[in-house]
Amino acid sequence: MMKIAIMGAMIEEVEPFLNLGEHEPLLKYFKKHNDVNYGGNLYHEAKYKGLDIVLGYSKIGKVNAALTAATMIEKFGAEQLLFTGVAGAVNPSLKIGDLIAATQLCQHDLDITAFGHPHGYVPEGKVYVEPSRELLRIAKSVADEKEIALKGGVIATGDQFIADPERKKWIETTFDADAIEMEGAAVAVVCDQLNIPFFVLRAISDTADTDATFDFDEFLKHSSQVSSSFVLAMLDKIADGQDQ
């Protein structure tokens, strides 16, 4: 039985999977759940259509995201990882509410250019990490069936919430980036190094400009619902594939 990790950065990004009771969260779609506190985080183990599931959120930032991804893989035995959440657009063609699946991820705040390396690169590493082509194929199938205009593109990650148009333009130009957020590339590096297929889906919640704070607060809940619904449909297809 395959074990799938479902991960977000904030409680709001995984909240659509949960029924938040008065005292403890209860899983909304999954069965036979077991809650595990580990490393300062709460993880939910459950079952869904023949799949083992581990669900959790990391808290914001690259370090937290890398810790949570590694925990899901090493402690809970996740064999694939699906990341769901929200991002800011840097590509002007992306609008609030659009879904984007990462085709590549990079770290826009990683800078050792003083040693002659390009932005986003460290020795023995690479600037761009690529998600699972099979999971991208499944995502496209879901999008086609739901008639959703799923976009693919480069997602740039850094430990800053970008609300500066000049910085936004620099990230777009330097990395050919389409969207920015604060966790995806860290998760990508962990999964890549541990040979775990992964997929990063982001719903555009703001346009990464001077109105970012307002837009983020306004659209976070709706965007999280959209991206979580999409991930659930991907789980259906993964489960169906196990039966074939």
For the stretch 60-82, pLDDT in tens is: 999 999 999 999 999 999 999 99
Q: Distance between CA 16 and CA 21 in Å, rounded?
A: 13
Number of folded domains in the chain? 1
Look at residue 23 in the predicted model and tell me its pLDDT: 47
Choice between 24 and 49, residue whose per-residue pLDDT is larger: 49
For the stretch 98-124, pLDDT in tens is: 899 999 999 999 999 999 999 999 888
The whole model's pTM is what? 0.91
Which domain CATH number covers 43?
Answer: 3.40.50.1580
Strands 18-20 and 3-8 turn out to be unpaired
Range of the structural domain that residue 80 is part of: 3-243
User: Where in the sequence numbering do the catalytic residues fall?
Assistant: 13, 206
Q: What φ, ψ does residue 94 adopt, rounded to 5°?
A: -85, 135
Looking at residues 217-244, what average pLDDT do you find? 81
Q: Distance between CA 163 and CA 211 in Å, rounded?
A: 7
Q: Distance between CA 190 and CA 166 in Å, rounded?
A: 30
